[in-house]
A and B are shown apart, each in its own frame.
Chain A
């Protein structure tokens, strides 16, 4: 099973494939460092440009960006107390006080080393866990695949976000978008309204760019962030090799936070910020000097940065094996895989072992490269990037979005469609409708429908075929537990609160 992993290595070390990871990491750090831009947005904008590239070059760029952006978010978090990405919020707690004390450079070095360690742990988890899990899915027939899709949607709706109704609306919207185009079995048009451009359905890339790239651009233009700039004195940088011995005491935190990050990454619906907060709290709870936390404790930076990078590759474990992404970025990356004709699931591992295992190696190399690239980029000159005029940045991103979407099929229709999704995405974002269920709905909707109809054909129209075997029943039970679990948890928590109040 793991021999394919070894065979994929030489391909990854090919110049263009390796260079893609290097470029991706650098681009990711730059994007992550810009408050308002995220890995999700960067990968959404990038995905259309990867059409003409070799799959491993495209995937290497994505893996690099993901790794780089998760660390890049720490740079403004430490220097300006503005998290570059949502996952870097916990890094501000101790990173900024360190910068105020003139230890900004050390804080960034702790962040980069911890990010690399988290990323390496995550890549190893992906390498070890994904292949055996993919074998399990070989046992699945159409009804099981249908339930996997339902489980995926249910978990992202009920575990992500606080408002189930909004999550369900998002998912219904995504699934509805997936049915636009020709019927998969009869070939009749559905909701195309005579537009030939819609016959093949709506490309996931158009939806991704609209939903994930346009709202942040409008935010950039709406409130241009004004910073005081970054002065060199905040960094106090010294060579990373000199500071490494001082970090040795974080080893327990690195292990604990890696485990937390990997676990949170695997869980559908959770994400980097949850991993970072959990890890920070846990590290603080077990610390011998909890009173120093929040006042510039480097271990706090280590805890949050290890965890937010440890959830990167692990979020792809359910995505690659079952088609259920663990995070929003993983959902976008899943879209990237699909446009290269790589359908997640067991066949991916059987038919394209070089690519899928190569992708895992790229995650590992991306994490290792962070130490070299992130360490050398965390300098005074790089920190000045934060002073780039944001309206200018916004206008350049708009141009890139247009080029990317236009390049998919060479038609302006897709650009207008993307703008439509962008407007919907902006409203959803502002009203706190979760976006990942839309993406997952589009990915899994067609998949679920095809397998449901196939199962019904096998069962000659008898719906009981969906509950005919143990695997299906297990998946139904898992789906029910994902739906009922949070309700019971909330009920128990409110009971506990009532009991506390009564006891006062």
Chain B
């Protein structure tokens, strides 16, 4: 019972905010008083308001009110987020074009669009358009990748 009460999304969020705001308080108190005025006011506000949120959510739990699920499909959400982060890291290390040529069909395939011709055409169109508009037309620089690929 206690595990489910603590794992309610709002409770977890409130605890998270209190912890993070508490951590930020440490450098905040070392600032000059006038410089620290607004940051400390906001951090204190976050802590107090999160406490109120936590108490109100726990009251709801005591009253038997079920917590609303944050996502319909947590696996898909986690997968989507991980793929996006992986794409950013890949761009950072192996460069924009290579990672984008992999990411567009991969993300679309994993999340349900499985037509190989459609995937290939969409990737070529997307990359070609990006090249023409941003690289060629606007002379925009793209990440070359720390490993030297592009």
A415 to B88, CA, bound (A): 7
- Find out whether the CB atom of B31 lies under 8 angstroms from the CB atom of A190: yes
Report the number of A-B residue pairs with Cβ-Cβ less than 8 Å: 159
DSSP majority for the B interface? helix
DSSP majority for the A interface? helix
- When distances are taken between beta carbons in the complex, the residues of chain B under 8 Å from A427 are 13, 70
Tell me if A124 counts as interface (CB < 8 A to partner B).
no
Cβ distance A392 to chain B, nearest Cβ, rounded Å? 4
Tell me if B64 counts as interface (CB < 8 A to partner A).
no
Q: How large is the interface on B (under 10, 10 to 19, 20 to 34, 35 or more residues)?
A: 35 or more
> Which of the candidate stretches A75-83, A266-274, A319-327, A406-414 sits at the interface with the other chain?
A406-414
- Find out whether the CB atom of A399 lies under 8 angstroms from the CB atom of B104: yes
- Find out whether the CB atom of A218 lies under 8 angstroms from the CB atom of B39: no
Tell me if A455 counts as interface (CB < 8 A to partner B).
no
By beta carbon, the residue of chain B nearest A433 is: B13
Q: What 0/1 pattern do residues 153 to 193 of A give for CB contact below 8 A with B?
A: 00000000000011011001101100100010110101101
- When distances are taken between beta carbons in the complex, the residues of chain A under 8 Å from B35 are 183, 185-186, 188, 190
- Find out whether the CB atom of A419 lies under 8 angstroms from the CB atom of B85: yes
Tell me if A230 counts as interface (CB < 8 A to partner B).
no
- Find out whether the CB atom of A168 lies under 8 angstroms from the CB atom of B45: yes
Tell me if A391 counts as interface (CB < 8 A to partner B).
yes
- When distances are taken between beta carbons in the complex, the residues of chain B under 8 Å from A395 are 103-108
By beta carbon, the residue of chain B nearest A184 is: B35
Tell me if A223 counts as interface (CB < 8 A to partner B).
yes
A372 to B114, CA, bound (A): 37
Partner of A398, one of B24, B39, B87: B87
Within B74-94, the residues touching A (CB, 8 Å) are: 76-77, 80-81, 84-85, 87-88, 91-92
Cβ distance B101 to chain A, nearest Cβ, rounded Å? 10
- Find out whether the CB atom of A396 lies under 8 angstroms from the CB atom of B104: yes
A191 to B27, CA, bound (A): 7
A390 to B107, CA, bound (A): 11
- When distances are taken between beta carbons in the complex, the residues of chain B under 8 Å from A415 are 88, 91-92
Tell me if B143 counts as interface (CB < 8 A to partner A).
yes
A396 to B59, CA, bound (A): 43
Partner of A402, one of B46, B87, B140: B87
- Find out whether the CB atom of A412 lies under 8 angstroms from the CB atom of B88: yes
Tell me if B9 counts as interface (CB < 8 A to partner A).
yes
- Find out whether the CB atom of A222 lies under 8 angstroms from the CB atom of B72: yes
Partner of B112, one of A391, A426, A448, A452: A391
Q: What 0/1 pattern do residues 207 to 244 of A give for CB contact below 8 A with B?
A: 00000001001100111100000000000000000000
- Find out whether the CB atom of A191 lies under 8 angstroms from the CB atom of B24: yes
Tell me if B53 counts as interface (CB < 8 A to partner A).
yes
Tell me if A403 counts as interface (CB < 8 A to partner B).
yes
By beta carbon, the residue of chain B nearest A169 is: B49
- Find out whether the CB atom of A179 lies under 8 angstroms from the CB atom of B52: no
Q: What 0/1 pattern do residues 365 to 401 of A give for CB contact below 8 A with B?
A: 0000000000000000000000001111011101100
A182 to B108, CA, bound (A): 42
- Find out whether the CB atom of B111 lies under 8 angstroms from the CB atom of A398: no
A396 to B127, CA, bound (A): 9
Tell me if A255 counts as interface (CB < 8 A to partner B).
no
Cβ distance B96 to chain A, nearest Cβ, rounded Å? 8
- Find out whether the CB atom of B50 lies under 8 angstroms from the CB atom of A169: yes
Cβ distance B64 to chain A, nearest Cβ, rounded Å? 20
Which among B9, B32, B81, B138 has the highest number of chain A CB atoms within 10 Å?
B81
Tell me if A430 counts as interface (CB < 8 A to partner B).
yes
Cβ distance B29 to chain A, nearest Cβ, rounded Å? 12
Within A431-450, the residues touching B (CB, 8 Å) are: 431, 445, 448-449
Partner of A222, one of B31, B43, B73, B115: B73
A217 to B79, CA, bound (A): 13
- Find out whether the CB atom of B42 lies under 8 angstroms from the CB atom of A410: no
- When distances are taken between beta carbons in the complex, the residues of chain A under 8 Å from B134 are 403, 407
Q: What 0/1 pattern do residues 106 to 134 of B give for CB contact below 8 A with A?
A: 11111111010011001000100010001
- When distances are taken between beta carbons in the complex, the residues of chain A under 8 Å from B87 are 398, 402
- When distances are taken between beta carbons in the complex, the residues of chain B under 8 Å from A186 are 32, 35
Tell me if A503 counts as interface (CB < 8 A to partner B).
no
Tell me if A256 counts as interface (CB < 8 A to partner B).
no
Tell me if A52 counts as interface (CB < 8 A to partner B).
yes
A-B contact pairs, 12 of them (CB 8 A): A165-B49, A175-B38, A179-B38, A190-B27, A221-B80, A222-B76, A223-B73, A396-B104, A399-B104, A403-B130, A430-B70, A431-B9
- A185-B35, A402-B91 given. 4 additional CB < 8 A pairs? A179-B42, A391-B107, A403-B130, A452-B38
Task: List the 5 closest A-B pairs by CB distance, nearest first.
Answer: A391-B111, A395-B107, A176-B42, A221-B80, A389-B113
Residues of B with Cβ closer than 8 Å to A? Answer: 9-10, 13, 17, 24, 27-28, 31-32, 34-35, 37-39, 42-43, 45-46, 49-50, 52-53, 56, 70-73, 76-77, 80-81, 84-85, 87-88, 91-92, 96, 100, 103-113, 115, 118-119, 122, 126, 130, 134, 138, 140-143
Residues of A with Cβ closer than 8 Å to B? Answer: 52, 165-166, 168-169, 172-173, 175-176, 179, 183, 185-186, 188, 190-191, 193, 214, 217-218, 221-224, 389-392, 394-396, 398-399, 402-403, 406-407, 410, 412, 415-416, 419, 422-423, 426-427, 430-431, 445, 448-449, 452-453, 456
